[in-house]
Homo-oligomer: A and B are copies of this chain.
Amino acid sequence: MKLLEQIAVATNLREGAEGIRDILASVAQNQKLSLKNLANTVYMPLPVVAAVRRELERRNILVRDKGICLTQEGLKLVSDLGIQSSLVSEDHLISIFKDIKYKMPEVNVTLDQAFASPETSFRRVTYANQYDAISGRNVILIGDDDLTSIAIGLNSKKKGKPKRLVVLDIDPRVIDLITSTSAEFSLDIECYLHDLKCPLPPNLKYNFSTVFTDPPYTLSGLELFLARASEALEEGSGKQGYLSFGNKDPDTDHEVFKIISQYGFVPKEIIENFNTYDGGTIIGNISRMIRIVSGTQRAILPSYFNRPIYTGDNNISQRSYVCSLCGEKYIVGKNCSHIHIEALKQAGCSECGNTIFNLVAKIQEGKNDR
Q: Which residues of A are in contact with B by a Cβ distance under 8 Å? A: 14-15, 19, 36, 39-40, 43-48, 237-238, 246-247, 249-254, 256-258, 260-261, 264, 266-273, 281-286, 293-297, 369-370
Contacts and interface: CB of A to CB of B under 8 A. Distances in A.
A254 B265 CA distance: 7
28 contacts: A14-B249, A14-B250, A15-B250, A19-B249, A36-B284, A40-B273, A43-B284, A44-B247, A44-B249, A44-B284, A45-B283, A45-B284, A46-B281, A46-B284, A237-B250, A237-B251, A250-B293, A250-B294, A253-B293, A254-B261, A254-B266, A254-B297, A256-B266, A257-B257, A257-B261, A257-B266, A257-B267, A269-B272
Contacts of A271: 269
Contact of A45 (B19, B46, B272, B370): B370
Nearest to A293: B250
Given A237-B251, A261-B261, A370 B48 contact: yes
Contacts of A264: 254
A270 B47 CA distance: 25
B238 A250 contact: yes
Contacts of A48: 370
Nearest to A283: B45
A207 B285 CA distance: 36
A237 B254 CA distance: 11
B267 A270 contact: yes
A40 B284 contact: yes
A44 B247 CA distance: 7
- Which A-B residue pairs are the 4 nearest by beta carbons? A43-B247, A14-B249, A237-B250, A254-B295
Contacts of A40: 273, 284-286
Contacts of A296: 250-251
Given A43-B246, A45-B282, 8 more contacts: A36-B284, A43-B284, A238-B250, A254-B266, A257-B261, A257-B266, A257-B267, A268-B270
Contacts of A295: 250-251, 253-254
B237 A249 contact: yes
A39 B261 contact: no
Contacts of A256: 266
Contacts of A47: 369
Contact of A39 (B257, B267, B284): B284
A93 to B, nearest CB: 27
A120 to B, nearest CB: 15
Contacts of A249: 14-15, 19, 44, 237
B266 A14 contact: no
Given A40-B284, A48-B370, A250 B266 contact: yes
A236 to B, nearest CB: 9
